[in-house]
């Protein structure tokens, strides 16, 4: 090595002139510094990973993915979960009957073994159909500049308040925590409000279109001609003879199901009884023969002459009754496969002009008092409520018996908050309106006329008592009401199908977070 190079190397040596101890200390300091840098970098990386994990678990990233796209609009997992959740909840207690287990994932539970269809598939299929329909309706509404009416806005706030009430009653600390439990971890009040607004706008737009459709008498008569079997009223008699063989019990107390031979013998015996009964009817009349048969067999049921609209006819004798060649007095024996035989006699078939489809009804609810700590009123309390209801009815009959005078009595006496201030009035009540059966049966009883009054007992929990009834007014005959609604439903469906043309629900990556 040349002298100049050796000199340069000594100059470049950072340890030149240092003792061995100093050199050692310098090396240790360098190592410590390097380790500090490494640990700092590792700490930063770990901190970043922890933050990322926390953010991931919060649903921040998932909630911002696209779960579905319809007609160019992207839906978040929260929005899709709203429709998915609504569909799921619509099944109610039927879910348990279908074998659904709320502790398992919807995707892991098969609802149809043959096809392998899961509960997730079932709910999502229906949710997509609803989303497509509402998207098409809402888009059309916005194109026409339609916005939520004041009534729809009130419905929106009422719906939100019901969710808040549900959260409070269920013990959730906030509405959002309740919504996450109800719809999924990405739902919140803001998304819920948006979804409700979309649904209400769609519903409002569809209702407005439906209400705009009108049908003249010619259209209704044409529909009647084509569907008379469904619209006509049928009067008939029927009685049933059971052909089900009874099970027995063996020496150990086990149930023994009847053999095929025993079941065949039971059906043959039922047929013989039915044929014999038919012969008796031809000698006398159905009611007399039925009473005689019931005296011999207390299990037989005969409820007198039946009256049903054609669309409501049920049973294996429906086709026989609705045959256009049927004449008064015709009688037949019809098998109910594997269970017995009906004897049916035709009385008449006609277009009922007196049977109305809608009614405006006024009522006064008189509740029975419930003692403190008790769940139901006593018989004495129910009797006291009936007595008071009768007093109110007697007071009404002692006056001019007008709708106005009944309304004043309702305002003064009724305990129904939903109608009291409106004079006890409920408008456009149909047979499908969600009132209890006896209430509806009184309204639509055969021969019911405007101005009729009466009393109806209410045995529903929390509503026990008596109703004073008054039929205020009625709408079109039932056949005409049904014809108009059927025509309207068909036209609305055709309109909806047109609106939805080209609409398709396309899954996005965020769909994995649903179900």
pLDDT digits (tens, 9 = 90+) for 462-508: 899 999 999 999 999 999 999 999 999 999 999 999 999 999 999 99
Give the number of other CB atoms < 10 A from CB of residue 158: 9
Asked if pLDDT for residue 122 goes beyond 90, the answer is: yes
Output DSSP code: residue 477.
B
Asked if pLDDT for residue 55 goes beyond 50, the answer is: no
Gyration radius of the chain over CA positions: 37
Q: Return the SS3 of 371.
A: coil
- pLDDT of the residue at 18: 56
- 400, 383 contact by CB (below 8 A): no
- pLDDT of the residue at 45: 42
Q: Helix/strand/coil (H, E, C) string of 185-198? A: CCCCHHHHHHHHHH
Residue 407's φ and ψ, nearest 5 degrees, are -60, -40
What's the CA gap between 460 and 373, in Å, rounded? 18
- pLDDT of the residue at 33: 59
Q: If pLDDT is split at 50, 70 and 90, which confidence band does 335 have?
A: very high
Give me the residue label for tokens 């049916």.
344
What's the CA gap between 335 and 274, in Å, rounded? 10
Residue 304's φ and ψ, nearest 5 degrees, are 80, -170
What's the CA gap between 111 and 115, in Å, rounded? 9
- pLDDT of the residue at 58: 41
- pLDDT of the residue at 59: 46
The pTM of this model reads 0.77
- 102, 143 contact by CB (below 8 A): no
Alpha helices in 398-477 (DSSP H): 403-413, 437-443
Question: What six digits make up the tokens of 88?
Answer: 């799921």
Half-sphere exposure of 107 (CA within 13 A, CB side): 5
What's the CA gap between 278 and 286, in Å, rounded? 8
How much of the chain exceeds pLDDT 90, in percent? Answer: 79
Question: What six digits make up the tokens of 460?
Answer: 């529903």
**Residue of 212, 110, 201, 195 whose CA lies nearest to 151:** 201
Q: Helix/strand/coil (H, E, C) string of 390-401? A: HHHHHHHHCCCC
User: Which domains are delineated in the chain?
Assistant: 3-57 (no CATH), 68-214+505-513 (1.10.4030), 235-247+256-350 (3.10.50), 359-475 (3.10.50.40)
What's the CA gap between 194 and 138, in Å, rounded? 12
- pLDDT of the residue at 49: 37
What's the CA gap between 64 and 269, in Å, rounded? 70
What's the CA gap between 363 and 232, in Å, rounded? 30
What's the CA gap between 217 and 480, in Å, rounded? 9
- pLDDT of the residue at 338: 87
- pLDDT of the residue at 210: 98
């Amino acid at each position: 090595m040349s002298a100049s190079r050796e000199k340069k190397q000594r100059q470049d040596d950072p340890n030149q002139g240092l003792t061995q101890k100093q050199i050692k200390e310098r090396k240790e300091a360098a190592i410590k510094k390097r380790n500090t840098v490494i640990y700092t970098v590792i700490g930063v990386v770990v901190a970043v990973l922890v933050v990322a994990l926390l953010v991931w678990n919060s649903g921040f990233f998932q909630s911002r993915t696209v779960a579905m796209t319809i007609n160019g609009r992207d839906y978040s997992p929260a929005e899709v979960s709203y429709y998915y959740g609504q569909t799921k909840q619509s099944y109610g207690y039927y879910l348990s009957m279908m074998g659904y287990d709320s502790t398992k994932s919807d995707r892991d539970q098969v609802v149809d073994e043959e096809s392998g269809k899961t509960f997730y598939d079932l709910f999502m299929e229906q949710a997509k159909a609803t989303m497509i329909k509402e998207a098409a309706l809402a888009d059309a509404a916005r194109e026409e500049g339609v916005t939520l009416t004041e009534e729809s806005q009130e419905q929106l706030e009422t719906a939100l308040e019901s969710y808040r009430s549900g959260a409070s009653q269920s013990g959730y600390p906030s509405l959002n925590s309740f919504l996450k439990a109800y719809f999924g971890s990405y739902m919140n009040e803001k998304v819920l409000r948006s979804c409700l607004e979309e649904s209400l706008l769609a519903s409002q737009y569809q209702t407005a279109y439906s209400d705009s459709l009108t049908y003249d008498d010619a259209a209704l008569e044409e529909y009647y001609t084509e569907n008379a079997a469904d619209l006509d009223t049928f009067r008939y008699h029927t009685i049933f003879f059971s052909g089900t063989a009874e099970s027995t019990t063996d020496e150990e107390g086990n149930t023994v199901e009847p053999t095929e031979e025993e079941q065949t013998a039971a059906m043959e015996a039922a047929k013989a009884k039915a044929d014999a009964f038919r012969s008796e009817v031809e000698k006398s009349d159905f009611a007399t023969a039925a009473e005689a048969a019931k005296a011999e067999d207390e299990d037989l049921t005969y409820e007198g002459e039946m009256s049903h609209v054609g669309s409501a006819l049920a049973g294996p004798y429906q086709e026989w009754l609705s045959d256009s060649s049927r004449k008064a007095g015709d009688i037949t024996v019809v098998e109910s496969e594997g269970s017995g035989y009906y004897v049916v006699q035709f009385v008449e078939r006609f277009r009922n002009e007196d049977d109305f489809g809608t009614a405006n009804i006024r009522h006064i609810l008189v509740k029975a008092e419930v003692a403190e700590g008790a769940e139901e009123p006593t018989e004495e309390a129910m009797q006291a409520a009936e007595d008071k209801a009768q007093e109110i009815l007697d007071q009404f009959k002692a006056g001019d018996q007008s709708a106005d005078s009944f309304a004043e009595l309702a305002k003064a006496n009724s305990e129904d908050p939903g109608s009291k201030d409106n004079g006890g009035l409920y408008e456009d009540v149909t047979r499908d309106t969600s009132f209890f059966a006896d209430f509806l049966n009184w309204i639509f009883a055969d021969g019911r006329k405007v101005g009729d009054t009466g009393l109806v007992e209410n045995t529903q929990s929390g509503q026990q008592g008596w109703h004073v009834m008054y039929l205020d007014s009625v709408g079109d005959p039932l056949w005409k009401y049904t014809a108009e609604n059927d025509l309207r439903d068909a036209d609305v469906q055709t309109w909806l199908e047109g609106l939805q043309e080209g609409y398709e629900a396309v899954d996005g990556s965020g769909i994995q977070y649903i179900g």
